[in-house]
Amino acid sequence: MKLLEVRDLRVAFPTADGVVRAVRGVSFSVEAGRTLGIVGESGSGKSVSTQTLMGLTPGAQVSGEAWFDGQDLLAMPERQMRRVRGAQIGMIFQDPLSSLHPHYKVGWQIVEMIREHEPDTGKAAARKRAVEMLGLVGIPQPDRRVDDYPHQFSGGMRQRAMIAMALALHPKLIIADEPTTALDATVQMQILDLMRRLQREFDTALIMITHDLGVIADMADDVLVMYGGREAEVAGRRTLYYRPHHPYTVGLLESVPSAPGVGGRLKPIPGQPPSLINLPSGCVFHPRCEYVMERCRVDEPPLREVVATEPAPGEEPAGALPGGDLPRVDLRRDGTHRSACWLPHTAVGLDAGVAAARRAASEAADAGAGAAEDADGAEPEGGER
């Protein structure tokens, strides 16, 4: 049973410059106790899609469905939304300084939220719960710190206070939007560790939005990669890191400086993220893609299933064949790994063999279509023209 199921969410903002199509048909779901990671660069629509679920994007044109516990969040009147927001779905934002009110004591802000949603709770009882929550998230001397103002807290403590607030009413789902981006590495470690332990304890579902692939590798069960307002790739965590299909995912993974490439050159994705007002035709990633085909320029690829699961014992793993031939082994599928790219569905992985196979497939497709012109001038490294 899915706790949250979002279907074909579309969000657009009318502006003076034109309509910003921030989210263009995204579907995802989360189960209780699981973590969904949403990765993408700025402007990929990752934050807008979750903010829309919570009714936090006034003025936007929204369509789609979002079923949470049997109710459609997008069709809900504001009065009802107020009861869900905070109580059943908690949110943790990126910047803990601007999401706590500087004028009110931290404890008061938690108390206010508890009493707003549970009017029967007395002042003293609510305060006791606020102290408990602050203690739970590891704030020292919570009975004293509850009367501090946000500026008296350090960055890590403020983020802990935000988590305490998000958890105070035991929500079924927590949406964490870049919860550790503003924090130092050692504090990030503490906060992620805390979130993991609390999630296990309360069996909360978690949506983790971030651009940091390291955080996702640590936290998520399933990963959704967004680009230009759409899903680029959806997969289980290990599949995504070890057998990615979409060239954008591959590019993201390769542009992270990591131990094996010390001192060498990084492999960035060329170009800039697309403008959401004038989106590129066809696949939105095609202007930056090294395997671009004629088809990509005109035809937007749907999210299709790719071979993702581990090869059965005795089978050749995908990508083991050098020379640009695609592996022909029939790999098992389970429908969890989907990618919006026209490249053959077996071209998964990060090694050179797969890169060559991708290139060969892209060139073969262009040659087959009778369109030999290749604007990117890709060198025929690993395959024949």
Q: Least CB distance from residue 76 to another protein, whole Å? A: 28
Residue among 193 and 381 whose Cβ is closer to another protein: 193
Q: Least CB distance from residue 194 to another protein, whole Å? A: 8
Q: Least CB distance from residue 357 to another protein, whole Å? A: 23
Residues 6+ apart with CB under 8 A from 104: 112, 149
- In angstroms, the CA 40 to CA 23 distance is 12
Residue among 63 and 278 whose Cβ is closer to another protein: 278
Residue among 224 and 252 whose Cβ is closer to another protein: 252
Residue among 223 and 326 whose Cβ is closer to another protein: 223
Q: Least CB distance from residue 304 to another protein, whole Å? A: 24
Q: Least CB distance from residue 307 to another protein, whole Å? A: 19
- In angstroms, the CA 326 to CA 61 distance is 43
Q: Beta partners for 5?
A: 29, 67
DSSP secondary structure code for residue 279 in this structure: P
Q: Least CB distance from residue 140 to another protein, whole Å? A: 5
Q: Least CB distance from residue 226 to another protein, whole Å? A: 12
DSSP secondary structure code for residue 263 in this structure: T
Q: What are the structure tokens assigned to 199, written together?
A: 């999630």
In the three-class reduction of DSSP (H, G, I as helix; E, B as strand; rest coil), residue 74 is classed as helix
Q: Are 279 and 45 in contact (CB under 8 A)?
A: no
- In angstroms, the CA 180 to CA 161 distance is 13
Q: Which residues of this protein are in contact with another protein, per CB under 8 A?
A: 41-42, 135-136, 138-140, 154-157, 184-190, 193-194, 197-198, 200-202, 211-218, 237-238, 241-242, 251-253, 255-259, 261-263, 265-270, 272-273
Q: Are 340 and 246 in contact (CB under 8 A)?
A: yes
Task: State which H helix or E strand residue 51 sits in.
Answer: helix 46-53
Residue among 175 and 215 whose Cβ is closer to another protein: 215
> CB 187: neighbour CB atoms within 10 A?
17
Sequential DSSP letters for 308-321: -SPPPTTSPPTT--
Q: Least CB distance from residue 370 to another protein, whole Å? A: 33
Residue among 270 and 302 whose Cβ is closer to another protein: 270
In the three-class reduction of DSSP (H, G, I as helix; E, B as strand; rest coil), residue 7 is classed as strand
> CB 37: neighbour CB atoms within 10 A?
26
- In angstroms, the CA 122 to CA 129 distance is 11
Q: What are the structure tokens assigned to 151, written together?
A: 């500026």
Residue among 256 and 277 whose Cβ is closer to another protein: 256
Q: Least CB distance from residue 173 to another protein, whole Å? A: 17
Residue among 42 and 370 whose Cβ is closer to another protein: 42
Q: Are 362 and 292 in contact (CB under 8 A)?
A: yes
Residues belonging to the chain: 385
Residue among 1 and 259 whose Cβ is closer to another protein: 259
